[in-house]
Structure 1
């Protein structure tokens, strides 16, 4: 199966300058092609990859556009392919422009034939890229497969290369523990709580880094935009953010490995993180902003992606359920009421008196609802609509509650 391997590049000044120029050319091609697509849509027409690739080849021969020849042709063609895919998946008017000060340069070498990889020693390796020649990279792990493509990107002041490799592995037909299943509740107090009572969480940023980040933001605000000092401060900010992002990625990878290796079925709530972290329109703007930061800091969506990636190697089945009322329903008797949850951490059923940790209770409800869920691959056998709330047990009176999956104090 296909997987990624990312390494930090150690480029010469000439290679770094060439990569910067390649990134600028690809950004200009992206913006010009996107503008052309939007103009065509306004006129009721349609522009796709084939005519734009032909026009790109013609533009290279026009006077004044010789700078298009700086970058290899397949890099620009791949940029048009990426734009075509983005427009088809998200819509022409939803795809964003690549603004110079917001976009990190990146470009992809789609053809592996002219590329070659060699191991220099235990710590270093080198890769041969078209027009760049041999570039040294920090070899932290073996590639473990055949290279399909390579992407060079700039992040936090460093150049990186990501190899897409085929590791020649297949998803096992059966999990090592075929009868094991677990439900996962994602929250803001703990990143993930499983139905077996395990709490997965860690701090991704230290108090000192928070102070340093605020100080750098203040320093950046006092500097002239686009100046050399402004650029240096921006790189320091991005390196600090990159460190936090790497910790979050390491945490989600470890948790996903542990959960997927132990369980054949993993049940998650179908949470729309993008919608849940939308900006408040009028009231409670500050409170909503704090909740948005807490949700994004815990990496809910990244944990789901890590589980899906790890499930390919373990044979784990990922199942999603409707998130309504999982945190307000008693796992013992099934009684649902907003008053059941005393606080963020405490759950006490007002009907049967069952007490438990609120997150563990929610995780057990998520696992219990797996029999009514549609799998992430869409091959479930539900007899009712996915959007319909499961019926409550007979004899229990349903209380009017607010339709919020995870109520917060």
Structure 2
């Protein structure tokens, strides 16, 4: 089995090295914007955009005297940036990605256009690559590893950059294929992309659990284990609001405005790091101890949709729904499921996603489905058989049962059947 992994560390360049890295980031951003403008001209002529066609524009761009600074930076990072642009156009041309976009709920926006050199305009459509700005929160460039070298906690980059220290918090396992340098909120990071071949692992555990994801309790397992949410955004919300009120009083793009804006960006980065670290710890604990994990296939974009409504038809409980949306997005549920998926794959486990509908209204004892079963947010009591249990534990038991049904022969035959149909009903039809 082939495993691809990214190992990310804090990079510690000195002042001279930081100047060279900033030049590389600026040159890569400049090439992206210039080649993107050329690709829009190709798009207007109905030409198919791919790497081989847009890469030809790099050498003529370097020969222009005004852009001679491009020769002072890493040539490989400019080529890699064009590859990234070609990948972005490939995603735009992909019919599956366009189909996914149509399923996502979004409000219609005022169309935007890009003006070409001949005076005509091209409408900027969804999934089209966009121009990069220096003020973007994250800047990066990538180099193939054959141009670099790693010894201990130091990495060597080409073009007189020399050796740069990084905080090596773990061993880099596998063959390094590329190196990515990122600048986020004034902090430098280095990421090593590695590939390695391993034998198909066998998970040491034999247990299976269903997990119910929520806001008040981040995870409730079918075995009764509960993981509380970290709520990193909520914990820093007051401080963030205070800084944003100060920013509003500053003159936009003044030096004081830039200092305060950087402070706000660093706080956002800190909030994201807290959430990311906590989700890694939780998912690692679950992945190590359980061979099969069943989760709900949640549509977070639909769950966190605004309740404002339209001008003609006003929404209800808008403020309460807004607070709920913040809490949902603060948990990072999609990130949590993604982490579980690849960690289970690496350990030889299994992650099963099931339809989340009716899991909280179904009795895990008798299978009766009714809205009245869920009396409160925490209490579940079946109106049919009288079974009483914590609502989240009951839901996680239903999720586990649904996961077993999906994996069974009956579950496979039951695709496309009504949502409320039980595994027992399918079993009767099969026999």
Query: For the Cα contact (< 8 Å) 2:405–2:423, is it kept in 1?
Result: no
Corresponding residue of 1:84: 86
SS of the equivalent of 1:105 reads strand
Query: For the Cα contact (< 8 Å) 1:321–1:374, is it kept in 2?
Result: no
Q: 5+ residue gaps in structure 1? A: 120-124, 396-409
Corresponding residue of 1:302: 335
Q: 1:133/1:140 Cα in 2 relative to 1: closer, same or farther (>3 Å)?
A: same
Aligned-pair distance for 1:363?
A: 0.9
Corresponding residue of 2:419: 389
Aligned-pair distance for 1:205?
A: 2.9
Question: TM-score of the superposition, structure 2-length normalised?
Answer: 0.82
Q: Between 133-142 and 201-210, report the one with greater CA deviation.
A: 201-210
Structure 1 residue aligned with 2:240, among 213, 220, 223? 213
Q: Between 36-45 and 149-158, report the one with greater CA deviation.
A: 36-45
Are positions 1:177 and 2:210 aligned together? no
Are positions 1:127 and 2:129 aligned together? no
SS of the equivalent of 1:3 reads strand
SS of the equivalent of 1:65 reads helix
Structure 2 residue aligned with 1:352, among 368, 371, 385? 385
Are positions 1:152 and 2:181 aligned together? yes
Aligned-pair distance for 1:3?
A: 1.4
Query: For the Cα contact (< 8 Å) 1:181–1:264, is it kept in 2?
Result: yes
Query: For the Cα contact (< 8 Å) 1:320–1:374, is it kept in 2?
Result: no
Distance in 2 between the 1:212 and 1:387 partners?
50
Distance in 2 between the 1:10 and 1:393 partners?
57
Distance in 2 between the 1:70 and 1:277 partners?
47
Write the mapping of 1:311-326 to structure 2, written as runs, cut at 5 A. 311-326=344-359
Write the mapping of 1:322-401 to structure 2, written as runs, cut at 5 A. 322-373=355-406, 382-385=412-415, 388-392=418-422
SS of the equivalent of 1:248 reads helix
Aligned-pair distance for 1:170?
A: 4.0
Query: For the Cα contact (< 8 Å) 1:127–1:134, is it kept in 2?
Result: yes
Are positions 1:193 and 2:220 aligned together? yes
Aligned-pair distance for 1:374?
A: 6.9
Query: For the Cα contact (< 8 Å) 1:340–1:347, is it kept in 2?
Result: yes
Query: For the Cα contact (< 8 Å) 1:20–1:105, is it kept in 2?
Result: no
SS of the equivalent of 1:28 reads helix
Q: 1:344/1:69 Cα in 2 relative to 1: closer, same or farther (>3 Å)?
A: farther
SS of the equivalent of 2:241 reads helix
Q: 1:30/1:112 Cα in 2 relative to 1: closer, same or farther (>3 Å)?
A: same
Are positions 1:257 and 2:284 aligned together? yes
Q: Between 48-57 and 38-47, report the one with greater CA deviation.
A: 38-47
Query: For the Cα contact (< 8 Å) 2:35–2:57, is it kept in 1?
Result: no
Distance in 1 between the 2:48 and 2:308 partners?
35
Corresponding residue of 2:42: 40
Distance in 2 between the 1:137 and 1:392 partners?
55
SS of the equivalent of 1:64 reads helix
Aligned-pair distance for 1:96?
A: 4.8
Corresponding residue of 1:243: 270
SS of the equivalent of 1:5 reads strand
Aligned-pair distance for 1:325?
A: 1.0
Q: Between 314-323 and 84-93, report the one with greater CA deviation.
A: 84-93
Aligned-pair distance for 1:315?
A: 0.6
Distance in 1 between the 2:133 and 2:301 partners?
22
Q: 1:349/1:40 Cα in 2 relative to 1: closer, same or farther (>3 Å)?
A: farther
Distance in 1 between the 2:89 and 2:49 partners?
10
Structure 1 residue aligned with 2:249, among 208, 217, 222? 222
Aligned-pair distance for 1:207?
A: 7.0
Corresponding residue of 1:5: 7
Write the mapping of 1:128-143 to structure 2, written as runs, cut at 5 A. 128-131=156-159, 132-143=161-172
Distance in 1 between the 2:34 and 2:241 partners?
36
Query: For the Cα contact (< 8 Å) 1:334–1:393, is it kept in 2?
Result: no
Distance in 2 between the 1:207 and 1:83 partners?
36
Distance in 2 between the 1:72 and 1:52 partners?
19
Corresponding residue of 1:403: none
Q: 1:99/1:336 Cα in 2 relative to 1: closer, same or farther (>3 Å)?
A: farther
Structure 1: 4+ residue segments shifted above 6 A = none
Q: 1:84/1:286 Cα in 2 relative to 1: closer, same or farther (>3 Å)?
A: farther
Q: Matched residue pairs, number?
A: 384
Aligned-pair distance for 1:148?
A: 1.5
Question: TM-score of the superposition, structure 1-length normalised?
Answer: 0.86
